[in-house]
Amino acid sequence: MTYKVFIDGRHGTTGLKIDERLAGRADVEVLTIPEDKRKDPAVKAEYINAADVVFLCLPDAASKESVALLAAGNTRTRFLDASTAHRTNPDWVYGLPELHGQRERLRSSQRIAVPGCHATGFILTIAPLVAAGLVPTDYPLTCTSLTGYSGGGKEMIADYEGQGALPDHMLSPRIYALGLGHKHLPEMQALTGIAHAPVFSPVVGPFAQGMLVSVPLLPRLLSGLTPEAVHAELNRYYADEACVKVMPLGGGDVVEAGFLPATRCNDTNRAELFVFGHAGQILLVARFDNLGKGASGAAIQCMNIALGCDELTGLAV
């Protein structure tokens, strides 16, 4: 069977990567709207309603406008929204199939919200521990996330790649969202079940893609929780998952001369989870491609599940 796919926002970073990952698939026909008709609501409505799958790679408001173009009675077309517009909307299914119960919900949903990149790493590490009672819902969590600049979209990519030698202030990693109100916080809280959003510090580095999301834990505030217990629970939770790999306790030989590079999962849909620490401190780290498991790869994984295809079709792990 051939599925018709429309990428609304095809020329953005996520849209381009989805298009790239769909190229060559015999089971997919990508519908291409004429350039001069991209902003014509009537023409866009035709494409949306002709498609089996619509990827929304748009700003939040534009995403909502596109969803409103679905014809009454159309129960065939499935939306996969890469914006933040619907991630905590109860009428949409959150697109992280590795969370227990989500895969079955994705199979039957017409509306899927693709997770944010920072949120993916936080949720993958913390949700199993909260569910198991190892981390209480009121624990004061913090999170730091280092990402490549491609996560900032076309404008940030142009800032880093379009001006020759970088100015001094862009040569080092830069913390942003200093108002402590990052747009991924609502989903980070909702999908882990914690009572309060974490104190979250995102950092953009002078490299194109790759991601490290780190969350520290203090055993003295967690009834003496050990790195071994955390590692065992993550191993149990993700034992049958192809795209989420729990690495050896302490990182094993994946740690390179004492360093953990951010780029080793690039161009894959793999997320690697690490547990470091000792009796006094624990550090959880999720490593993945912010454009892969953090964006377009996750979207295609969800599409595959929703359409009943092999979950890994078109994806490298």
Give catalytic residues, as residue numbers. Answer: 117
Per DSSP, the residues of 180-210 read S--TTHHHHHHHHT-SS--EEEEEEESSSS-
Q: Are 115 and 96 in contact (CB under 8 A)?
A: yes
Other CB atoms within 10 Å distance of the CB of residue 187: 23
SS3 content of the chain, % helix, strand, coil (to 5): 35, 20, 45
d(CA 175, CA 301): 30
Other CB atoms within 10 Å distance of the CB of residue 294: 32
3-state secondary structure of 61: helix
Closest to 82 in 3D by CA, of 65, 57, 61: 57
